[in-house]
Amino acid sequence: KGCSSNNNNNNKSNSNSTRSRATGDFGPATTLQEAELPGDLLDGLPELAPPAPNFQADDKPTVLLVDGHYLAYRSYFRVIAHGGQPLRTTQGVPTTITYAFLRGLLRDCWKLQPDSVLVAFDSGKRTFRHTADVKYKAHRPPAPAGFGEDLANLKQLLRDGLGLMTVEVPTFEGDDVLGSLARLGSEAGWRVVIMSGDRDIFQLVDDEKDIVCLYLAPKSAQDQVDHQLIMVQEKEVEEMMGVPPKLVPDLKALIGDRSDGFGGVPGIGQVRGTRLLKSFPGLETLYEALEVAAAPKRSSSSSRDEGRFSAEQLRCFTPATKRYLVNGRQEAFHCLTLATIRKDIEFENLQDVKPHTVNITKLASHFARLEFNSFLPKLGHFARAFARHRTLHWGKRHEDS
């Protein structure tokens, strides 16, 4: 029951029937097994690994939350990495991001058939993390030329052409928007799928709450450009990170995150940090245990806390580990704040998801304006992939609606 898309011969042989079905009646979405898409739109796109067990095996509505900024950057640099030149219209309008983003999103939504799609973006303004740490992401190079204009066109096309909700909140990052939307969606009784290639998102995965990550995983250590899509649940997070989802921020607080510009605790690397968090479930508990291990024998603190931690646990604190943790305590908790995705954003005017049919005339106008001529014959595929057929209320369980 996998969703692999490499059967191009089958797709090509069925393209006529697919086209007539997609451009005609936009009724209920097809199932994963029935979904077909002409091979020319699949070529070079990441393959989708089989979904997790029982995923979409019931009538539970599914909302797909897309990490918009991550996919925008990935879309741009994937084109460049394969030797392509930035795309522009004959009038000079940059279109690399918009074209590659839509191409990938169409393919994935055609396969997944979510009940709704929301795209979260960074607001482009300073966030609370930048205020807390001037070094946060300060080392990152500026966006490529034309990136802002291209991104603005993408957002307009998503909203006006496809009728999708795009969400961004000043002072928060897109990850915080994703975390807060995931919480609201889960509380409403939806299945939540978060599409991203950022492992920070793994901290949001929760089997009990039915929150999974559709992860854009590099195909190999040598190939960091091309990706395969993997449905990640708690088991996969622990296999890849060495800790369960809830401890991903704690691990980052200990070992740092070079891409975000914070260093964690000097001396604590991946192996040592993972080993510590296997013994102590979180930074708070880790430092409480450190106080016990460092306390003089028979001190009041030691006797009071004896029994909380086993001798085997306390053996984790070698002299070097004690020194690293003691010296890096303040930085560890500072980094924990930076690494933790917020889930408590209070959205203003967040609209419920209602049934929607894509306006093909309006979408065709956007494609023509941006000179996406290869998309024009596929208007029906876009319409079918992004149609919504269910009403989903934020904060209200779907079975009660």
- 1 versus 11: which is more confidently predicted? 11
Q: Is pLDDT at 298 greater than 70 in this prediction?
A: no
DSSP letters spanning 304-359: HHBTTB-HHHHTT--HHHHHHHHHTHHHHHHHHHHHSPP-----SS-PPB--B---
Residue 383 CA neighbour count, 13 Å, CB half: 23
Q: Is pLDDT at 20 greater than 50 in this prediction?
A: no
Share of the chain above pLDDT 90, in %: 55
Label residue 21 by pLDDT band (50, 70, 90): very low
Structure confidence at residue 395 (pLDDT): 67
Distance CA 70, CA 61 (A): 25
Q: Is pLDDT at 35 greater than 50 in this prediction?
A: no
Q: Which two tokens stand for residue 151?
A: 């991104």
The one-letter amino acid at 147: F
pLDDT mean over 263-282: 94
Lowest mean pLDDT among 5-9, 109-113, 192-196, 355-359: 5-9
Residues 226-249 have pLDDT tens digits of: 678 899 999 999 999 999 999 999
Structure confidence at residue 253 (pLDDT): 94
Q: Is pLDDT at 4 greater than 50 in this prediction?
A: no
Structure confidence at residue 58 (pLDDT): 64
pLDDT mean over 391-401: 66
Q: Is pLDDT at 401 greater than 70 in this prediction?
A: no
Q: Is pLDDT at 3 greater than 60 in this prediction?
A: no
Structure confidence at residue 140 (pLDDT): 77
Closest CA relative to residue 121, chosen from 95, 160, 158, 80 = 158
Lowest mean pLDDT among 15-19, 33-37, 46-50, 362-366: 15-19
Helix (H) or strand (E) holding 8: helix 8-13
Label residue 195 by pLDDT band (50, 70, 90): very high
- Alpha carbon 319 to its chain centroid, in Å, reads 39
Lowest mean pLDDT among 110-119, 192-201, 289-298, 331-340: 289-298
pLDDT mean over 278-303: 81
Q: What is the mean pLDDT of the chain?
A: 81
Q: Which residue carries 């599409």 as its tokens? A: 195
pLDDT mean over 114-133: 85
- 135 versus 325: which is more confidently predicted? 325
Q: Is pLDDT at 139 greater than 90 in this prediction?
A: no
Distance CA 168, CA 172 (A): 8
Lowest mean pLDDT among 113-122, 310-319, 386-395: 386-395
Radius of gyration of the chain, Cα coordinates, nearest whole angstrom: 23
pLDDT mean over 143-153: 92
Q: Is pLDDT at 24 greater than 50 in this prediction?
A: no
Q: Say if strands 62-67 and 191-196 run parallel, antiparallel, or are unpaired.
A: parallel
Residue pair 63/392 in contact (Cβ under 8 Å)? The answer is yes
Those residues whose C-beta lies under 8 Å from the C-beta of residue 346, and which sit 6 or more positions away, are none
Say whether 258 sits in a helix, a strand or coil: coil
- 33 versus 346: which is more confidently predicted? 346
Residues 64-105 have pLDDT tens digits of: 999 999 999 988 888 887 677 889 999 999 999 999 999 999
Q: Is pLDDT at 45 greater than 50 in this prediction?
A: no
Label residue 129 by pLDDT band (50, 70, 90): confident
